[in-house]
Structure 1
Amino acid sequence: MDALQPYLPLIYTILRGLAVVGLVHALITRQPPYWMLTLGFAAFLGGIFSMVFSLVYVFTVLIPSLRGGTRVAGRAVARGVESLKPLDLRIREAHEQLQESDTLQNRADLAALQARAGRPDDAQATLAPLLSGIYADDPVVLLTSAELDLARQEPAPAAAKLNRVDLKTSAATRTRTLTLLAQAQDAQNLPETDQTYRDAITGATTEEPRARYAAYLIRQGREDEARALLDALAKTEKKASGLYRRQEREWFQMAAGLRKELK
């Protein structure tokens, strides 16, 4: 033990570093809360037992996950680190990346960041060249641009773009397109809104259209229909896996709020 004494500070630093790495991995991969709590204690407060648990996490969770999918885990960590940067810095870096390489992905990434920063006009300007080029009918471009139109309270041009999307591209594209189209029609008080929501719900890949349709029904004074839809959503949430509940948390929470309105 005396021989290890000079190295104890270094060992402690390494263990604490492993705790930090483990905590980041646990947050990104949404590990159970007890791991996050233990790793958080180890990373910020230290302590021998917390350090031991951080080693256990590294060898039982972190390393196996890296072995099983090094590229996937690496991308997840990279996204986690990227998300820690201030939004203005990420926008500046995305703009520089676009200047170096003007691609669909780089424009879409910059527009998404500008939209998150509450700058829909800038985001729409970023996408504008794509709407008249070879990507004019690309679903990503049309959907993103339509969302920005809705954010700018311009439902008519949003609907025009959404009607150009090929619904056969994928089930997810179909769900998103019809949900946005129903919102655009609702904003214009169009009679086809109801049927569009129903179409969006059929084969939907998310709970968003059901939650938004319930809100629409309440605004229309059709409370009994809304209540039945919200009860169905509650049953879905109860039976859903933990992963699906986390994925659809926003819409399950929206449904819960709507149920309170009806009481």
Structure 2
Amino acid sequence: MDALQPYLPFLLNLLRLLAIIGLIHAVVTRQQVYWIVMLLFGALFGGLFGLAFAAVYTFMVLIPAARGSSRAAGQAVARGVEALKPLDTRIREAQEQLQESDTLQNRADLAALQARAGRPDDAQATLAPLLSGIYADDPVVLLTSAELDLARHNPADAETKLNRVDLRTSAATRTRTLTLLAQAQDAQGKPEADQTYRDATTGATTEEPRARHAAYLIRQGRAADARALLDALAKTEQKASGLYRRQEREWFQMAAGLRKELK
């Protein structure tokens, strides 16, 4: 203990600094209240328990979070480098990859690139073999193909495929399927689109169904119903975390544009 005596002021200051850093991180990332309280105590008063919590928080939360961020950053850089390639080059490489290994993922990747290039017919042709093979009922295949049908102005074909998706697969699959189904029904002038949008909103994993439902209601001349939905979206945006607002930015922006239409 005597040997550590000269280093104690440095160690205490280090732990207090970690408490401050941890406190900022805990507040920003919305950690449990007890973390915030103990880190605040350590940052302000340097108490033994507060500083001990700073050390624990560093090893249990900060360091793992930093490692995860490093991996995410590396993946982001890789995606960025890939995105710099011309789209035609990426399509050609995806076609070569598909020739080497004809898998669900490789076909889906190629179809996605072709769709981005404004070639929905080519993308649908790429997916076509999967629709009659062992992956015929795979939600990824059906959803991707249905989206392409909508892009090609074939809502009836999209509806047929969407009705084959197993909604029990996951909440995200259910949300996406019902949202697309409502769009397909709307494009055909079917009145059941309203209820389908409502079903998509129940337990939704994204704000897309509510935003699209509001747009649908405006087109139907139901301004009061649309306004109520948009007001609820605005309240959600105000209460949402920064991460969720970024994740759902497209739909919050769509809702903001729709509110302007109603003024």
Tell me the TM-score normalized by structure 2: 0.74
Shift of 1:70: 5.6
Runs ≥4 residues deviating over 2 A: 63-77
- For structure 1, the residue ranges without an aligned partner over 5 or more in a row are 1-62
Aligned partner of residue 114 in structure 1, secondary structure = helix
Change (3 A) 1:221 1:133: same
Q: For residue 85 of structure 1, what is the aligned residue in structure 2?
A: 85
Counterpart Cα distance in 2 of 1:232 and 1:219: 19
Which residue does 2:233 correspond to in 1? 233
Residues 75-154 of structure 1: pairs in structure 2 closer than 5 A: 75-154=75-154
What does residue 216 of structure 2 align with? 216
Of all paired residues, the percent bearing the same amino acid is 88
Residue 77 of structure 1: CA displacement?
Answer: 2.3
Cα deviation digits, residues 180-226 of structure 1 (max 9, x gap): 00000001111211110000000000000000000000011110000
Alpha carbons 1:65, 1:73 under 8 Å: kept: no
1:199 alignment partner in structure 2: 199
1:66/1:73 contact within 8 Å kept: no
CA displacement at 1:169 relative to structure 2: 0.3
Q: Please provide the CA RMSD for this pair.
A: 1.6
User: Which stretch shows the higher mean deviation, 186-195 or 158-167?
Assistant: 186-195
Question: Which sits farther off after the overlay, 236-245 or 121-130?
Answer: 236-245
Change (3 A) 1:69 1:218: closer
After superposition, the C-alpha distances for 1:114-161 in whole angstroms (9 at most, x for unaligned) are: 101111000000000000000000000000000000000000000000
User: Secondary structure of the residue that 2:167 maps to in structure 1?
Assistant: coil
For residues 211 and 179 of structure 2, the distance between their equivalents in structure 1, rounded to whole angstroms, comes to 10
Q: For residue 262 of structure 2, what is the amino acid of its counterpart? A: L
Q: Matched residues in 1 for 2:192 and 2:148: separation? A: 22
**How far off its partner does 1:85 sit?**
1.5
In structure 1, give the amino acid aligned to 2:129.
Answer: P
1:73-96 Cα shifts (integer Å, max 9, x gaps): 433321122122211111111111
Kept after mapping to 2: 8 A contact 1:114/1:122: yes
Instruction: Give the number of the structure whose alpha-carbon radius of gyration is greater.
Output: 2
State the partner residue of 2:249: 249
- Per mean C-alpha deviation after superposition, the further-off stretch among 101-110 and 237-246 is 237-246
Q: Which amino acid aligns with 1:186?
A: D
Question: Are positions 1:175 and 2:156 aligned together?
Answer: no
Mapped partners of 1:147, 1:251: distance in 2: 18
CA contact (8 A) 1:147 1:158 kept: yes
Alignment of 1:184 with 2:201, yes or no, is no
Return the letter of the residue paired with 2:113: L
Query: What code does the residue aligned with 2:245 have?
Result: R
Q: Which moved more, 1:131-140 or 1:238-247?
A: 238-247
1:65-84 matches, within 5 Å, as: 67-68=67-68, 71-84=71-84
Aligned residues: 201
1:214–1:138 Cα change, 3 Å? same
Q: Deviations over 1:28-60 (max 9, x none)?
A: xxxxxxxxxxxxxxxxxxxxxxxxxxxxxxxxx
Gaps of 5+ in 2: 1-62
- Whole-Å separation in 2 of the counterparts to 1:176 and 1:109: 19
How has the CA–CA distance of structure 1 residues 91 and 199 changed in structure 2, closer, same or farther, with 3 Å as cutoff?
same
Structure 2 counterpart of 1:193, one-letter code: A
AA of the residue aligned to 1:163: N
